[in-house]
Amino acid sequence: MHPPISFRRPISFQDLIPEDYLVLRDLVRFGVLAEDQINRRYGDSIVTMPQLFSATSYGARAAQCGLRATKPSMQDLRHDIAVVDLADYLLEHEPEAEWRTEREASRVIRGTVRRTRRRGFENGPGHQPDGLLLKSGNVLAVELEHSVKSEQRYADICRWFASTPRVDGVRWYVDDPKIADRVARVNRQHGFDRDVDVTIEPFPPGVALRPWRRP
């Protein structure tokens, strides 16, 4: 990541052009952006050096989106960058939709965790989806899945989706047929897909976990 740039005075919201503001907000919302993802937001598709950026605490305040700056997790970095690509792809192909990042998801689904769709169906431990797609009045949880989890872990996640009334559907984007089979089997065996709409799709074009070496 680049070292911080020094200014004679602190920048403010008034110093930002609309594109600056969009980039800054998304840096805070997603937590991290790759350089080509920043170029995309400026309308420039040229990919230069593979650098990553995150917002400072001051930048988070200037973004005025109600979120604090966060330090990117090196362990999850490739996944988090892929989620940004997925969000950009979905919004390009579904322009009527809105995206809420993982950091914003709780604002949408807050207050529903203890309620259940059906009697005797207990809501398990909380789960944060990779993002929410808000479309036509519906809330669709989005999961980008690359690493295979145990069936019990998928059962816990799918149970949470099925028992959270604010979630109208779940889209799983996977790059491994084993993951697709396991997610489908868990939903079918437990009947979760009778409580919430579940779709399982491959990664869209241009979405992949990028090669990355820790500096």
Average pLDDT per block of 10 residues along the chain, 215 residues long: 44 69 90 91 63 82 84 88 97 96 89 43 67 96 96 95 94 97 97 96 96 66
Contacts of 125 (CB under 8 A, 6+ apart): 156, 160
Specify the amino acid at residue 25: R
Instruction: Record the tokens describing residue 64, joined without a space.
Output: 């005025």
Do 3 and 22 touch, CB atoms closer than 8 A?
no
pLDDT, residue 169, reads 97
pLDDT of residue 112: 45
Residues facing 201 on adjacent strands: 173
Predicted local confidence at residue 13, as pLDDT: 55
121-125 contacts: CB < 8 A, separation 24 or more?
A: 121/162, 121/163, 121/195, 122/163, 123/159, 123/160, 123/163, 123/164, 124/156, 124/159, 124/160, 124/163, 125/156, 125/160
- pLDDT for the residue numbered 68: 86
Could you tell me the pTM of the whole model?
0.80
The helix or strand, by DSSP H or E, that contains position 33, with its residue range, turns out to be strand 33-34
Helix segments in the chain, DSSP class H: 18-30, 35-41, 57-63, 77-93, 105-109, 151-162, 177-190
What are the structure tokens assigned to 145, written together?
């899945």
The pLDDT value given to residue 75: 86
> What is the structure's pLDDT at 2?
45
pLDDT at 202: 98
User: What was the pLDDT predicted at 50?
Assistant: 57
Residue 63 CB: number of other CB atoms within 10 A? 23
Q: Which long-range contacts (CB under 8 A, 24 or more apart) does 32-39 make?
A: 32/72, 32/77, 32/80, 32/81, 32/84, 33/81, 33/84, 34/81, 34/84, 34/210, 37/81, 37/84, 37/85, 37/88
The packing angle between helices 18-30 and 77-93, to 10°, is 130
